Amino acid sequence: MAKEKEERQPAPPIGTWAPALALSWLIPGGGHFLLKKTGRGTLLLLSITSMFVCGLMMRGAMFQPASGDLLTILINTGGFIADACSGILYLLTVWLGYNQPDMAGAVHDYGAKFLVTAGLLNVLAMVDAFEIAARRKD
């Protein structure tokens, strides 16, 4: 029995999803608040912010793009992009000088991973806000 192909839906106009996506990057959960999904927005705001603050309290370092061999470039650039995906949390941390230099130690390393994970969780929140704004999800 052959499966029927799903018809591709046309891309929604940029004006329907861009504000929610931009606000979702800037403020964790902000896109959901804009889309009147306050429960999800509150959960995302609290979880991403608390994960980011825990990473800072563990004195985790923010990644910076670095040159060198391919693996070093990939790790540092990927970490930098993931850190920057935290939006205003990342921007305030850098602007106010709370970012720590990279130090040896397990706690500091876990802190850096918490900071990266907060940014990656915000990326998932951005995808969710996009799908809700594009009316692909409820």
**At residue 31, does pLDDT exceed 80?**
yes
**89 lies in some domain:** yes
**56 lies in some domain:** yes
**88 lies in some domain:** yes
* pLDDT tens readout for residues 59-96: 888 988 888 899 889 988 999 999 999 999 999 999 99
List the structure tokens of 37. 């999904």
Higher pLDDT, 108 or 125: 125
Is-contact 118 55, C-beta < 8 A?
Answer: yes
**Which of the residue ranges 4-18, 45-59, 72-86, 98-112 would you say has the lowest mean pLDDT?**
4-18
Domain of 30 in residue numbering reads as: 14-133
The rounded mean pLDDT for the chain is 88
**Count of domains forming the chain:** 1
